[in-house]
A and B are shown apart, each in its own frame.
Chain A
Amino acid sequence: MQLDDLNALVAKHVGARKKIVLRTCMSAGCMSSQADVIKKNLEAEVKAQGLEADVEVRRVGCMGFCGQGPLIGVDGLSAKEKLFEFVKPTDAPAIVGSLKGGACDVQAGNPDHPFFAKQMRIVRANGGIVDPERIEDYLAAGGYQALHQVLTEMQLAGVVEEITKSGLRGRGGAGFLTGLKWGTVAKSAGAKKYVVCNGDEGDPGAFMDRSVLESDPHLVLEGMAIAAYAVGADQGFLYVRAEYPLAIARLQTAIKQAKQLGLLGGGIFESPFNFNVDIRIGAGAFVCGEETALMASVEGKRGTPRPRPPFPAESGLWGCPTLINNVETFANITAIINRGGAWYAGIGTEKSKGTKVFALTGKIRNNGLIEVPMGIPLRQIVEEMGGGAPAGGQIKSVQTGGPSGGCIPAAYLDTPVDYESLTKLGSIMGSGGMVVMDDATNMVEIAKFYMEFCMEESCGKCIPCRTGTAQMFHLLEKITQRRGTARDLAKLEELCDMVRHTSLCGLGQTAPNPVASTLKFFRAEYEALLQPDPHGPRANGSVKTAEAVTP
């Protein structure tokens, strides 16, 4: 298909739109509160109230304010967008009635709330606006223009150069420079190359990637296609965890639609460029998000990491050069191509460019997904956008980076959110989980929670991670049960160092972080739990004595 045909299709689609649009969030969050029933009821009500000519009910992806969901957005009624929160299926008549000026007591949201106003939406630009199951909607929002531009106007090297210029860093956690990675794969010799999108998203509390895949699947596909063109690949794999059935279904639909329009498959935009994408479903192991484990899993093997080098860029899937990027990384690509690397590099800080999506959760008033420019002070996110701790609470700490990250104490809330600043505080940017904790939170329990997670998710391949995390968890349990001594704490710290430096992959290497960071800032909480040993200061620990045994 040529661009003209595509534009004609879009014009027809846009022409058929109605005056008023009821955008119904049908992402996993709102779906779990019957968003599908709400949509059906709204449609029936529109018909019943005779508004079919003017009103359409549109399925959209996540609007971000998931804590207030189910959400309905109304466009075209007044100059300003209207928002309904906590919608129930029985609210349909009132909501539709309100379009004609009827009374409606459904809670109205405020689109000017700092939660929305402070956001900068690049990755999530279409989230909550386009219908993720209709490619026409994505096309109408300017979709696949970047791919067209790349295929018709840009050299391979030019694409890599533009991404390099943007300063984009991988959003999967480590923050590796994306342009550099693309350049390496592009330069790697090999007749066959692959592009892999990492949608494993296993951090507890994280749902950024799920939301992007559910709300705007074509954005990721287009990013992958551009990457494939730039590095010389013709096959892509989208690795998504099985716990994300809606994302998988929407991706399948999206791939089918893109193929029908010749935007994926052979001879894209009638150029010599071919690109196919297949979905691979992960069984939900956290470690399968690690790139070498993920590739083993794609190859059909047990998902365990292997030592690097060789890096995937030189030897990845089936030994071929492979580009692997995170969902959010790919979701940034079209904007960079459309608006230029220089534009993107203008957002954020010196070393952290662009925006970052966070899943804001925990002891905070406003939960949900936010996209903010890099460098924004943590305080603005937590206090202004998040609205601070719920009544009576005081924010104590913010956890970023999930099980690989750390806890930033409230005293450091003015820290700008960028890769370097967070690392300096012993945490990491990570993939975007942000859990706010209030003063009722026990930090040793938090450390124990994450250690238990790492222990259970360790693949078991290397000794330090497999048994080190088990011992660290055991020590933390001893301490929280008030059975630990200073000697146990010393052992815990020694293990933190050892596991970090000797584990094979990132899981083990970062597993000690939550302990190390809480020890750094909240050491007193650990010490308060320690027991002086009744058997002298030199005793090793305490022994559980028996209650009577009566067989």
Chain B
Amino acid sequence: MKLRVATVWLGGCSGCHMSFLDMDEYLIELAGLIDLVYSPVIDVKEFPDQVDVCLIEGAVCNEDNLEILRKIRERTRVLVSFGDCAVTGNVPAMRNPFGDDNRTDVLQRAYIDNTQDNPGVPKADGIVPQLLERVVPVHEAVYVEYFLPGCPPPAARIQEILGQIVTGQTPKLTGPQLKFG
């Protein structure tokens, strides 16, 4: 049976997914080895059950991120933190040092101070999720099996770890392949 693989995009810039697509012809090979059951690049609405591997891009920034992440953890055997935002919090977490009010402050800055037309923080309960007090890396919220750092991780690095996974090896990156940034 083919591995059921998912990728998910939380608080990140989608650069990691772009880098994923940069694997070019390996994608075709990969398509023969896995079933991509959930991903921003395919049109599935609900995260499925019984997923073998899920790559998670992005930090945990809002309640929606947290909720889906917990669901993913329940339904997935192996989680891989995919890219620096997932591994370290990275750029999205740069609001954390601004203290307890950082959520209010960033919203104020983005939606009121720096807008010309219709300033105002979008508010729609149940549709626009609330920001968490602090942005955290994925492993601070749920257990994560493997880590794939890089901002974004170069395609070769993604290919390396996926290659290890599909051939049944324990994923392991060493040396410069673990470089952050």
Query: A residues within 8 Å of B by Cβ?
Result: 535-536, 538-541, 543-546, 548-551
Contact A543 B60 (CB under 8 A): yes
Contact A536 B132 (CB under 8 A): no
CA distance A538 to B142 in the complex (A): 7
CA distance A541 to B74 in the complex (A): 16
Known contacts: A543-B136, A544-B132, A544-B134. The answer to whether A536 contacts B66 by CB under 8 A is no
CA distance A16 to B142 in the complex (A): 82
Q: Which of B8-16, B101-109, B167-175 contacts A (4 or more CB under 8 A)?
A: B101-109
- Is B139's beta carbon under 8 Å from chain A? yes
Q: Which of A543, A548, A549 contacts B66 (CB 8 A)?
A: A543
- Most A CB within 10 A of own CB, among B111, B131, B133: B133
Q: Is the interface of A mostly helix, strand, loop or mixed?
A: loop
**Which 6 pairs between the two chains have the least Cβ-Cβ distance?**
A538-B143, A551-B104, A546-B130, A551-B108, A549-B103, A551-B107
Contact A540 B108 (CB under 8 A): no
Contact B139 A540 (CB under 8 A): yes
- Is B73's beta carbon under 8 Å from chain A? yes
Residues of the A chain whose Cβ atoms lie less than 8 Å from the Cβ of B107: 549, 551
Q: Which of A538, A543, A545 contacts B140 (CB 8 A)?
A: A543
CA distance A322 to B112 in the complex (A): 65
CA distance A535 to B144 in the complex (A): 12
Residues of the B chain whose Cβ atoms lie less than 8 Å from the Cβ of A551: 104, 107-108, 111-112, 121
Contact B73 A539 (CB under 8 A): yes
CB-CB contacts of B117-133 with A at 8 A, as 1s and 0s? 00001010000001111
CA distance A496 to B123 in the complex (A): 46
Known contacts: A536-B74, A543-B60. The answer to whether A548 contacts B130 by CB under 8 A is yes
CA distance A77 to B70 in the complex (A): 81
Residues of the A chain whose Cβ atoms lie less than 8 Å from the Cβ of B70: 535
Residues of the A chain whose Cβ atoms lie less than 8 Å from the Cβ of B123: 550
CA distance A252 to B133 in the complex (A): 56
Query: B residues within 8 Å of A by Cβ?
Result: 60, 62-63, 66, 70, 73-74, 103-104, 107-108, 111-112, 121, 123, 130-134, 136, 139-144
Known contacts: A535-B73, A549-B131. The answer to whether A540 contacts B143 by CB under 8 A is yes
CA distance A125 to B121 in the complex (A): 74
Taking the nearest CB of chain B, how far is it from the CB of A477, in angstroms?
Answer: 15
Contact B131 A539 (CB under 8 A): no
- 10 CB contacts below 8 A, A to B, read A535-B141, A536-B142, A538-B142, A538-B143, A539-B73, A540-B139, A549-B107, A549-B121, A550-B121, A550-B123
Contact A546 B103 (CB under 8 A): yes
For the A-B complex with A543-B136, A551-B111 known, give 10 more contacts whose Cβ atoms are closer than 8 Å. A538-B142, A538-B143, A539-B73, A540-B141, A543-B66, A543-B141, A545-B66, A549-B103, A550-B104, A551-B112
When C-beta atoms are compared, the residue in chain B nearest to A538 turns out to be B143
Residues of the B chain whose Cβ atoms lie less than 8 Å from the Cβ of A550: 104, 121, 123
Residues of the A chain whose Cβ atoms lie less than 8 Å from the Cβ of B73: 535-536, 539
Known contacts: A535-B73, A551-B121. The answer to whether A546 contacts B142 by CB under 8 A is no
Residues of the B chain whose Cβ atoms lie less than 8 Å from the Cβ of A540: 139-144
Taking the nearest CB of chain B, how far is it from the CB of A544, in angstroms?
Answer: 5
Taking the nearest CB of chain A, how far is it from the CB of B86, in angstroms?
Answer: 13
Taking the nearest CB of chain A, how far is it from the CB of B114, in angstroms?
Answer: 13
Contact A546 B132 (CB under 8 A): yes
- Most B CB within 10 A of own CB, among A536, A539, A543, A544: A543
Residues of the A chain whose Cβ atoms lie less than 8 Å from the Cβ of B139: 540
When C-beta atoms are compared, the residue in chain A nearest to B110 turns out to be A551
When C-beta atoms are compared, the residue in chain A nearest to B105 turns out to be A551
Contact A546 B63 (CB under 8 A): yes
When C-beta atoms are compared, the residue in chain A nearest to B136 turns out to be A543
Taking the nearest CB of chain A, how far is it from the CB of B5, in angstroms?
Answer: 20
CA distance A551 to B108 in the complex (A): 6
Taking the nearest CB of chain B, how far is it from the CB of A543, in angstroms?
Answer: 5
Residues of the A chain whose Cβ atoms lie less than 8 Å from the Cβ of B136: 543
Residues of the B chain whose Cβ atoms lie less than 8 Å from the Cβ of A541: 140-141
Q: Which of B108, B131, B140, B144 contacts A546 (CB 8 A)?
A: B131
Contact A543 B132 (CB under 8 A): yes
Residues of the A chain whose Cβ atoms lie less than 8 Å from the Cβ of B133: 544-546
Known contacts: A543-B136, A546-B131. The answer to whether A535 contacts B104 by CB under 8 A is no
Taking the nearest CB of chain B, how far is it from the CB of A443, in angstroms?
Answer: 27
Residues of the B chain whose Cβ atoms lie less than 8 Å from the Cβ of A539: 73, 141-143
CA distance A540 to B140 in the complex (A): 6
Taking the nearest CB of chain A, how far is it from the CB of B80, in angstroms?
Answer: 15
- Most A CB within 10 A of own CB, among B107, B123, B142: B142
CA distance A173 to B104 in the complex (A): 50
Residues of the B chain whose Cβ atoms lie less than 8 Å from the Cβ of A536: 73-74, 142-143
CA distance A11 to B62 in the complex (A): 85
Taking the nearest CB of chain B, how far is it from the CB of A158, in angstroms?
Answer: 64
Residues of the A chain whose Cβ atoms lie less than 8 Å from the Cβ of B141: 535, 539-541, 543
CA distance A551 to B123 in the complex (A): 10
Taking the nearest CB of chain A, how far is it from the CB of B113, in angstroms?
Answer: 10
Taking the nearest CB of chain A, how far is it from the CB of B171, in angstroms?
Answer: 17
Taking the nearest CB of chain A, how far is it from the CB of B104, in angstroms?
Answer: 5
When C-beta atoms are compared, the residue in chain B nearest to A544 turns out to be B133
CA distance A128 to B37 in the complex (A): 84
Taking the nearest CB of chain A, how far is it from the CB of B134, in angstroms?
Answer: 7
Residues of the B chain whose Cβ atoms lie less than 8 Å from the Cβ of A545: 63, 66, 132-133
CA distance A205 to B3 in the complex (A): 63
CA distance A550 to B60 in the complex (A): 20
CA distance A541 to B142 in the complex (A): 7
- Most B CB within 10 A of own CB, among A539, A541, A551: A551
Q: Which of A538, A543, A549 contacts B104 (CB 8 A)?
A: A549
Residues of the A chain whose Cβ atoms lie less than 8 Å from the Cβ of B142: 535-536, 538-540
When C-beta atoms are compared, the residue in chain B nearest to A541 turns out to be B140
CA distance A536 to B72 in the complex (A): 12
Residues of the A chain whose Cβ atoms lie less than 8 Å from the Cβ of B66: 543, 545
CA distance A126 to B60 in the complex (A): 66
Taking the nearest CB of chain B, how far is it from the CB of A470, in angstroms?
Answer: 15
When C-beta atoms are compared, the residue in chain B nearest to A546 turns out to be B130
CA distance A538 to B77 in the complex (A): 12
CA distance A551 to B63 in the complex (A): 17
Taking the nearest CB of chain B, how far is it from the CB of A535, in angstroms?
Answer: 5
